[in-house]
Amino acid sequence: MSVPGLWSFQHILMLSVLTGAADGYYFHQWTQCIYSSPDLSDMVYIEGFYFNKYPFVKFNSTVGKFVGFTEFGVRIAENYNNDPGILQQTRAQVDVFCRHNAEVTEAAVYNKTVQPRVKLRSVMPGDDTHPALVMCSVYDFYPERIKVSWYEDGVLVTSDVTSTEELPNGDWLYQIHSELEYTPRAGQQISCVVEHASFSKPMVYHWDPPVPEFELNVELLLAVETAGLMLGITTAAAGFIYYKIRTGL
């Protein structure tokens, strides 16, 4: 994955008219490398010379020569363009300096991937009259682009979903949080699906929701009734056996 790149290097020189004066003349050289293509084919090298913030000479690799912007700058540009050594060396910077450093940066930073940590948790439990809210939090991933989706019983959910943007941690890593509002019911399967450059395929994380309280009460009632029935059957059987023994039948 490649992102638009820009390097800027400045060399600043201040010449004061009077010793100790706060005001003065400023000269600085500004070198830039600009690109956006993953294969670096659109790399541009720009070198500019400025006096008191105003450019007087610039070189742009797409033009291939120096261009002057003032009377003095025109003379300097003409001298540079007429010097094969300077012109050849400056033209080569797009490869020697820009593309070389961009390749190093792409390999070390932009093309690096870090797998995220994913956590599912309940934000608000639901019941027979109120929806439930579950959050899928994705932490510490790189690069920034990521996709988080929700599925219910294998079907993509497109409504009742709220997500944050990719949030920078401040350490080159990112995090994102997505919430799903759903109505709890028995047997349903809620899944958070994460797609990221660090994964070879989408990763599925299943949410095991707690049993809704109203269903838990029904199950508890059924369990109590079943236990009572079994106890009654057991008591009746024990009484019948005792009766048989006492009567000798």
Residue 58 has pLDDT above 70, yes or no: yes
- Identify which has the larger pLDDT, 22 or 31: 31
CA–CA–CA angle 8, 12, 14 (5° rounding) = 160
Q: Indicate whether 225 and 189 sit together in one domain.
A: no
Q: Which two tokens stand for residue 111?
A: 């093309």
Range with the lowest mean pLDDT among 28-37, 86-95, 191-200? 28-37
Q: Indicate whether 36 and 124 sit together in one domain.
A: no
Q: Indicate whether 171 and 220 sit together in one domain.
A: no
Residue 16 has pLDDT above 70, yes or no: no
CA distances from 217 to 97, 134, 141 (A): 72, 22, 42
Range with the lowest mean pLDDT among 94-98, 107-111, 156-160? 107-111
Host domain of residue 185: 117-207
Domain boundary among 110, 130, 158: 110
- pLDDT given for residue 43 in this prediction: 94
Domain count, the chain: 3
Residue 185 has pLDDT above 90, yes or no: no
Residue 38 has pLDDT above 50, yes or no: yes
Residue 17 has pLDDT above 50, yes or no: no
- Identify which has the larger pLDDT, 102 or 22: 102
Q: Which helix (H) or strand (E) holds 73?
A: helix 71-81
Q: Indicate whether 202 and 220 sit together in one domain.
A: no
**Short-list 57, 54, 35, 55, CA closest to 44:** 35
The CATH code of the domain that includes 161 is 2.60.40.10
Whole-number percent of the chain with pLDDT over 90: 57
Report the alpha-carbon distance of residue 103 to residue 41 in Å, rounded: 12
